[in-house]
Amino acid sequence: MRNTLGFTEDELRRLAGSRSFERGLGYLSSVSTLEIGERTITATVEGTDAYEVELTEHEDGLTGWCSCPYGQEGNFCKHCVAVGLAVLRQAKSVPVQRAAAASRGRQLDAWLESRNRDELLTLVREHLAGDRDLRHRLELRAAAAGDDFGAVRERVLGLLDTRPFARYGYVEYADARAYGLQATEALSALRTLTETGHAPEVVEVAREAIAALGRTYGEIDDSDGVIGDVAGRLAEVHLAACRAAHPDPAQTADWLVDHLLGDLNDATDIALSDYEDVLGEAGLARARELVVAAWRGNPRGWAEKHLMEQLMKAEGGSVDALIAVHAVDLAPSGATHLMIARELERAGRPAEALDWAERGLWEADPDRGPDHHLVDFVCERYTRGGRPADAVEVRRNVLRRRRTLAAYQDLRTAARAADCWDEPERTRALNVLRTDARPRKSLGSAGSALVDALLDDGDHDAAWEAAAEGYADGRQWLALADRTRDRRPADALDVYLRLIGPLLTRTGDATYEHLTELLLSARTCHRTLNTEAAFTAYMTTLRTDQKRKRKLMALLDRHGL
């Protein structure tokens, strides 16, 4: 049954996941400036930094936003959990606080409506004097309402300028959101100006803004994609203005090709094909002239080659001409061979496509290829063409070059399809992995694909043997113990105790959680072995030795350890 808040502790756990929820419990005392509104809850949570949190209740549930890195990725983080728990702890007073918030809102509306024009102007001017961002936004609206396009340009470029948000020359992720809100005002103004007969001016301003944003984009932490979204919308504004203004096709082609060949397109990701209707025949001819000249001057350049490909597709060029562009610079991984093969297949030339793909396998640099997509392409065509044995041979060669679990799995799949996975095929494959592996002297050393392959096969006894010979790391020992503790509880218990030892000298939430999981597994083994008394004695000693670690003790208490 839902409470008057509209959310429960169980819902917080569901939204955050068990791990973030448990961590949120430890941040309850770090919640400050808690403010409960009619539908929103805001607070500050002290963590590695002071993080701003906002929870919003909707008819279909609760959402949360936090300024921490994990929260900026769209996750309901431990800080959101802490704020939600803090509210639940004072649930009885929440209706009163919400009623007070609603009353304050009504009072404010009534007060504003009772002010006369001069009083409201005075109020707005007071805020403009103390809020530079608000002043800039209103200045833009005022300029857009008049005919002073010079002022509009200055204000738009000012709002799209990232420098005021850069600390030490770099825009951090927390500041990117504020920049996005400001930039939205500029984009709205440009759209309005385009619709009201100022499209030619908008074309020029948008180009200046695109160049400015492109120069600074590499110095912005855009983890949540806010600035990338602004850049994409800015490109849309420019294109819409071009369609409305019909600028000179040749000049537009000059700007477009120069932009696409430069280093400033990462932010906007403009494509030549977007401008086909703007360029028309004359503009496309000019673009072709410029692109071909650039490609001939630097046929190995990625931008030049990519533009040539776009141009040919826009003009409906022949597959052979496209292949000629790519064949000038074949990637050592075989990726270019695959691109050519796919183009040929789309053109209805499957035999030539397979020839190019096979050539990619032969020509690939052993240290950089072959590209796994190329391998998949060839093997799928072999299987489809009734040549499963050839697919197996390709997978064998890949395993010899790339001794990984994935390569082993691919060979196993191909060999089973060819009905040849039984001995000696599997033994040969495992021996390839064994010759690549080296015995490990400690749990911290990197594990081997051999143990992973045996685990993946479900051959646990052979995996234990390989691990005992020194081919397993801590992760693989743990996987072995977890999978076989019902059959080999004594062996699994030994693994858990070996993994527990190093953790007892460390601190931190993640360490305590991992340690608790291992202790729970060890307890399960003792129960299977009917040696619970020994586990009780072990835990008594452990708790005595670790008693200063309060968070660990609380976690152990919570799990009955």
Q: Residues 480-505: what's their mean pLDDT?
A: 93
Is the torsion defined by CA of 404, 410, 413, 418 positive or negative?
Answer: negative
54 pLDDT more than 60: yes
61-66/31-36 β-pairing: unpaired
Can you name the residues that pair with 65 across neighbouring β-strands? 54
Distance separating the N- and C-terminal Cα atoms of the chain? 31
Tell me, what's the pLDDT at 446?
64
Structure tokens at 407: 């390569």
Which residues does 4 contact at the CB level (< 8 Å), separation at least 6? 91, 94, 95
For residue 490, count other CB atoms closer than 10 A to its CB. 11
What is the predicted pLDDT for the residue at 477?
A: 92
Q: What is the mean pLDDT of residues 391-396?
A: 95
Angle, alpha carbons 87-92-93 (nearest 5°): 75
- The continuous run of DSSP H or E covering 56 comes out as strand 50-58
What single-letter amino acid sits at 44?
T
| Percent of the chain's residues with pLDDT above 70 | 93
Distance CA 84, CA 194 (A): 45
Rounded mean pLDDT, 251-260: 91
Instruction: Tell me the average pLDDT across 227-236.
Output: 85
Long-range contacts of 309-312 (CB under 8 A, 24+ apart): 310/271, 310/272, 310/273, 311/272, 311/287
Kindly report, residue by residue over 316-368, the tens digit of the pLDDT. 667 777 787 777 778 889 988 998 899 899 889 999 999 999 999 999 888 88
SS3 45: strand
What pLDDT is attached to residue 215?
A: 79
Judge whether 50 and 67 are in contact, CB under 8 Å: no
Whats the size of the chain, residue-wise?
561
Which has more pLDDT, 159 or 502?
Answer: 502
Query: Which of 520, 511, 498 shows the shortest CA–CA distance to 442?
Result: 498
Q: What is the pLDDT of residue 373?
A: 93
pLDDT in tens, 424-483: 899 999 999 988 656 555 444 567 899 999 999 999 999 999 998 888 888 899 999 999
| Closest by CA position to 362, among listed 378, 349, 347, 351 | 378
CA distance 209 to 235: 10
**Residue range 373-382: average pLDDT?**
95
Give dist(CA 325, CA 330) in Å, integer. Answer: 10
Mean pLDDT of the 104-126 span: 86
Say which amino acid occupies 143.
A
Contact (Cβ atoms closer than 8 angstroms) between residue 488 and residue 477: no
| CA dist., res. 73 & res. 516, Å (int) | 28
Mean pLDDT of 273-299: 85
Cα distance between residue 203 and residue 412, in whole Å:
58
Whose structure tokens read 């010079």?
Answer: 150
Classify 50 as helix, strand or coil.
strand
Q: What element of type H or E holds 36? A: strand 31-36
Which range has the worst mean pLDDT, 4-13, 202-211, 213-222, 380-389?
A: 213-222
Task: Pull the structure tokens for residue 18.
Answer: 């068990």
Please report the pLDDT score of residue 221 as a whole number.
Answer: 79
Helices (H), 328-448: 335-346, 350-363, 372-384, 388-401, 405-417, 425-436
So what's the pLDDT on residue 1? 34
Of 436 and 231, the structure prediction assigns the larger pLDDT to 231
Q: Could you tell me the two tokens for 561?
A: 């350890």
| Token representation of residue 156 | 């738009």
One-letter amino acid at 379 equals C
Distance between CA 389 and CA 387 in Å, rounded?
6
Tokens read off for 560? 């009955």
pLDDT of residue 443: 47
For 112-136, what is the mean pLDDT? Answer: 80
**What SS3 class is residue 61?**
strand
> Is the model more confident about 192 or about 82?
82
**DSSP bridge pairs for 32:** 44
pLDDT band per the 50, 70, 90 thresholds, residue 2: very low
Q: Rounded distance, CA 181 to CA 50, Å?
A: 21
